[in-house]
A and B are shown apart, each in its own frame.
Chain A
Amino acid sequence: MPHSAAELVDRLGAMSIERAWDPYTSFDWPESLDPEAEYYMSPELMSLYGTEAYEALNETDRKRLSFYEINNFFSFVLLGERPVVGGMTERMYRKDTMGPITDYLHHFIDEENKHMVMFSLFCNRYLGRIYPEKKLAIDREMAPGEEDLVFYCRVLIVEELGDVYNRKMQEDSRINELVRQINEFHHRDEARHLAFGRAWAAELFERHTQDWSPAQLERFQDWLARYFASSWTDFYNPSVYRDAGLAGGYQLRQEAIAHPKQRAFRAEASDKLVRFFLKHGFLKEAPAL
């Protein structure tokens, strides 16, 4: 049975308290990691997996690549969590969130802050930096309430895509144990965030789009389809390929994005969220990912 967001948050908040953890002390953080010693990301999840370039790599090359790929994954999830915390903070204690929703937003923000600390400890210590985002915000005209929907859709996409990877890697004994644990801890919190995000976004969508014109709705749907596709490209980072010793990073990115095996993977990994968006009218057709 689907629950309303207000019903859901009581239970989610209790679970947050019960399962509290600490990024500084819940893990053993080794001094350093050797990029070539083992896999840091499941091979099947790597952005070049299935491409001709990947086939040409030997085992050591693949391990090294997996080290930079996991740092990229952690980096863009971290940077994607920053506006989540900002947006949640702005939205708490407003008329429409006062009460149980705001109480839960405190947990959400608290947990996202821990995630950022966790990813930052990893990337700064082992990579020596966080891979920067190459995004530039350009304001556009919005319908009433659209800003809210844009915000929650962004949250759902970064969390859902990240969670597909977390769920696979938390069970993968082939990869570095610290990485496996980070994925496990992240997934535990994200499962609750996603349950809340879906319920709350669906309610807001109904509320806000009631008064929109068909043109306003279409513009939003068009944005969401393009944003969804664009979010996937975060995984294909030319700087990662360069750091792993591969030449022609920009070209590798284009080839991997266009590769049929990668396309099929993205479609499968997005399926659950696409179905949610279609069911509630956020999208009118499945986007080309």
Chain B
Amino acid sequence: MTNNDIPHVLSNWILDRANVTDREFFDSQTKIIDDGLLTSLDVVELILFIEDLRGEEVDIDALEPESFANIETLVETFFPSVSRDSQIA
């Protein structure tokens, strides 16, 4: 998997978890928690998935709920190098 796939992989994981079939509406700004796609209980699972993608543990004490707002904030928080790449592109 290349870095560019990360936003896509995260989106698919979230939409699968939320049992969403019509995916047209979803983009990097869609609100994940405020729009009811994931609850705080799903976030536990998402963090473990992110750790698996990163290959290292996430420091939970350093996290704010805002990091889980949308795909953009997730990528910025957990995959900063991807975030920089996409800004250049």
Contacts and interface: CB of A to CB of B under 8 A. Distances in A.
Interface residues of A, number: 18
Nearest to A242: B57
**Chain B, interface SS category:** helix
Interface string B20-45: 00000000000001000001110111
Interface residues of B, number: 19
Contacts of A133: 60
B9 to A, nearest CB: 13
Interface in A218-273: 226-227, 230, 233, 238-239, 249-251, 253
Interface stretch (A32-40, A135-143, A170-178): A135-143
B82 interface: no
A239 B49 CA distance: 12
Contact of B51 (A135, A136, A238): A238
Contacts of A132: 57, 60-61
Contacts of B63: 136
A136 B48 contact: no
Contacts of B14: none
A134 B39 contact: no
Q: Is the interface of A mostly helix, strand, loop or mixed?
A: helix
B52 interface: yes
B58 interface: yes
Interface in B36-80: 39-41, 43-45, 47-49, 51-52, 57-58, 60-61, 63, 65, 68
Interface in A111-153: 132-138, 140
Contacts of A137: 40, 65
A13 B39 CA distance: 38
A233 B49 CA distance: 14
A253 B51 CA distance: 13
B62 to A, nearest CB: 11
Contact of B41 (A230, A238, A250, A251): A230
Nearest to B33: A138
B49 A135 contact: no
B47 A136 contact: yes
Contacts of B45: 233
A133, A138, A140, A233 interface centre (most CB from chain B within 10 Å): A138
Contacts of A136: 40, 43-44, 47, 60, 63, 65, 68
Given A132-B60, A233-B45, A239-B57, A138 B51 contact: no
Interface of B: 33, 39-41, 43-45, 47-49, 51-52, 57-58, 60-61, 63, 65, 68
20 contacts: A132-B57, A132-B60, A132-B61, A133-B60, A134-B47, A134-B48, A134-B51, A134-B58, A135-B40, A135-B43, A135-B60, A136-B43, A136-B63, A138-B33, A138-B39, A226-B41, A230-B41, A249-B52, A250-B51, A250-B52
